[in-house]
Amino acid sequence: MLRGVCQYAPTIIFGELVTRIVTFKVGLLGLGTVGTGTVQLLLDAAGRNPLLQELEIYRVGVRSLDKSRAVNLPNGVLTTDLDEVVTDPAVDIVVEVLGGLEPARSLILKAINNGKHVVTANKAVIARYGDEIFEAANAAGVYVLLEAAVGGGIPVIQPLKQSLSVNRIHSVTGIVNGTTNYILTRMQTEGSSFNDVLADAQKLGYAEADPTADVEGLDAADKIAILASLAFGGRIKLQEVYCEGIRSVSKTDITYAQKLGFVIKLLAIAKRDTPLLPLSVRVHPTLVPQTHPLANINGVNNAILVEGEPVGQVMFFGPGAGAGATASAVVSDILNITAVLKTKTHESRDILHPLLACSHHDYCAIAPMEELVTRFYARFLTQDRPGVIGKLGTCFGDRGVSLESVVQTGVEQELAEIVVVTHDVREGDFGHALAEIRELEAIDSIPSLLRVL
């Protein structure tokens, strides 16, 4: 299908008159943090890739025309009519940086159905409606690119689609949410509680007024669903991604973890232990060995570790958010589309570049969490009397759970605190052992259960 109208200019090269595309028109949806960063980058093209000079910000859709803006746009560019942006025949590339599910999803679909290529930073829409969006894009012969949707300024989507795609991927393990990483880092370095750091992070603008999507792990789940889909070549049903946030991580656990040689991170993990078997895709707070490459990713930074055969380990690290960093990712997608449009011939106009388009049609099978094999950290409060550790050991032993370390520390309000780290165990078996332990008369409570990388 032919895309939106581009401008052509006759140019003389070596005495021959050739026609080349000189301008692609961008329709931007949203002029908030990312939209503003994107405009600033596009308006300041000197010293960057020369293709940027061929792009024009043609329309920018916003909610309010009265708001003061950090960028100057020519009269008539700003509009509140978002439909007009996605249907205008002059627009070649629609950039969706509105956020939220609607109207973002409908506008992306409308843009596609009007023959526009789409760039989006919206992980929530892609993780939920990616199948519908990519089906529509393939049918319309247009690209939907989303580098900014995961890891902000870190290039990880294109590397997974291109440079790393010849590898058999074993795992993708990421710190993909800056807010939770900031909170956990401060809890670790200052010994502060979750609630205190969260309140401070909200004051400083590192956490939203409603922090649910971040602290409950939902944002990270959206992102690992996208990464898993690219790494393992299939669609992912978001509802099958296990998700546990960081609200229950206490400073006590952070201190114990540190003594045992770990730090606690919110990890998003997609892993296939055996080829062709179901994937494990999950988000949860995790004890990470202090020597692991992800252990020292602190503050709002993000990092994604990809392990594949034959490449081995490759780690991507950088700013996971922010106007400039995210705009870098958005504009790199615009550039990729521009490059393809520029080199298209009349004969190839209906062929999508196979490394840029989405080719997945099947869903990946996801293993239930009971089948996960991992180490666990558990903290028990028990009666302070002899024989309790023995009873714990018996319950674990009966279920084939072997213990790597058992530490009994201080007594609090007449209760003893016992911290256990297991060897690798099937999560289902560990759960059965815990159910029996809960029934023991000597057990007061099990305040923490965390997985160990």
Ligand X SMILES: NC(=O)c1ccc[n+]([C@@H]2O[C@H](COP(=O)([O-])OP(=O)(O)OC[C@H]3O[C@@H](n4cnc5c(N)ncnc54)[C@H](OP(=O)(O)O)[C@@H]3O)[C@@H](O)[C@H]2O)c1
Helix 194-204 crosses helix 178-190 at what angle (to 10 degrees)?
A: 130
Cβ–Cβ contacts within 10 Å for residue 328, how many? 22
Rounded to an integer, what distance in angstroms lies between the CA atom of residue 299 and that of residue 440?
41
- The C-alpha R_g of the chain, in whole angstroms, comes to 25
User: Position of tokens 């309000």?
Assistant: 413
The DSSP result for 225-236, as a single string, is HHHHHHHHTSB-
> Distance (Å, rounded) from C-alpha 102 to C-alpha 111?
14
Question: What residue is closest to ligand X based on CB?
Answer: 32
Of 122 and 188, which CB lies nearer to ligand X in the complex structure?
Answer: 122
Decide whether 61 or 308 has the Cβ nearer to ligand X. Answer: 61
Least distance between ligand X and beta carbon 417 (Å): 40
Which residues are known to be catalytic? 223
Cβ 33 to ligand X shortest distance, Å: 4
Residues at the contact surface with ligand X, assessed by CB under 6 A: 30-35, 61-64, 67, 82, 97-99, 103, 121-122, 148, 152, 321-322, 326
Beta carbon of residue 62, minimum distance to ligand X (angstroms, whole number): 4
- Burial category of 18 from C-beta neighbours within 10 Å (exposed 0-12, middle 13-18, buried 19 and up): exposed
> In the bound complex, what is the minimum distance in angstroms from residue 112's beta carbon to ligand X?
17
Distance CA 288, CA 290 (A): 6
Query: Structure tokens of 212?
Result: 């649910």
For ligand X, which is the closer residue by CB, 25 or 123? 123
Q: Pairing between strand 403-412 and 415-422?
A: antiparallel
Rounded Cα distance between 58 and 37, Å, is: 16
The nearer residue to ligand X, 108 or 243, going by C-beta atoms, is 108
CB of 168 to ligand X, least distance (A): 29
